[in-house]
């Protein structure tokens, strides 16, 4: 048993572990938990994701680009069977890119 615990600790030390970002929604369609909030629950929040943490070759090729993704959400559970959620994600696009729409360039 001592070797098993040592193996688990060793795996945790050498493995990259990424957490799941929550976007303020729950419910039957939300994986992996499919949990529902209690009725008469209101959740308001927001988050920021810094892409510099896990930059790949695409982001490294664009040094002038400092990517951040913001989101905010409002989630209201009126009844045990009804949950209404609004999520807005704000992305800053690269100027002159064909991938990002022109409305997101530098904003």
Q: 16 lies in a domain?
A: no
Amino acid 16: pLDDT = 59
3-state secondary structure of 7: helix
Radius of gyration of the chain (CA): 19
Measured CA to CA, the distance from residue 11 to residue 70 in angstroms comes to 32
Q: 23 lies in a domain?
A: no
pLDDT-derived band of residue 77, with 50, 70 and 90 as boundaries? confident
Q: 27 lies in a domain?
A: no
Measured CA to CA, the distance from residue 47 to residue 72 in angstroms comes to 6
Measured CA to CA, the distance from residue 53 to residue 80 in angstroms comes to 38
Q: 24 lies in a domain?
A: no
Span 12-54, pLDDT tens digits: 776 555 554 556 666 666 656 667 778 888 888 887 776 666 5
Per-residue H/E/C for 58-86: HHHCCCCCCCEEEEEEEEEEEECCEEEEE
pLDDT-derived band of residue 65, with 50, 70 and 90 as boundaries? low
Measured CA to CA, the distance from residue 86 to residue 24 in angstroms comes to 9
Q: 20 lies in a domain?
A: no
Q: 72 lies in a domain?
A: yes
Q: 32 lies in a domain?
A: no
Number of domains in the chain: 1
Tokens 């002038």 found at: 64
Give the predicted TM-score (pTM) of the model: 0.54
Residue 47 is encoded by which pair of tokens? 């988050």
Q: 92 lies in a domain?
A: yes
| Residues of the domain holding 103 | 38-107
């Amino acid at each position: 048993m001592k070797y098993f615990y040592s193996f688990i600790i060793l795996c945790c030390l050498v493995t990259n572990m990424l957490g799941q970002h929550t976007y303020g929604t729950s419910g039957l369609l939300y994986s992996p938990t499919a949990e529902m909030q209690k009725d008469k629950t209101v959740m308001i929040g927001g988050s920021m994701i810094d892409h510099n943490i896990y930059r790949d070759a695409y982001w490294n090729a664009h040094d002038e680009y400092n990517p951040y993704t913001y989101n905010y959400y409002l989630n209201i559970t009126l009844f045990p069977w009804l949950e209404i959620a609004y999520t807005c994600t704000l992305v800053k696009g690269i100027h002159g890119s064909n991938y990002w729409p022109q409305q997101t360039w530098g904003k």
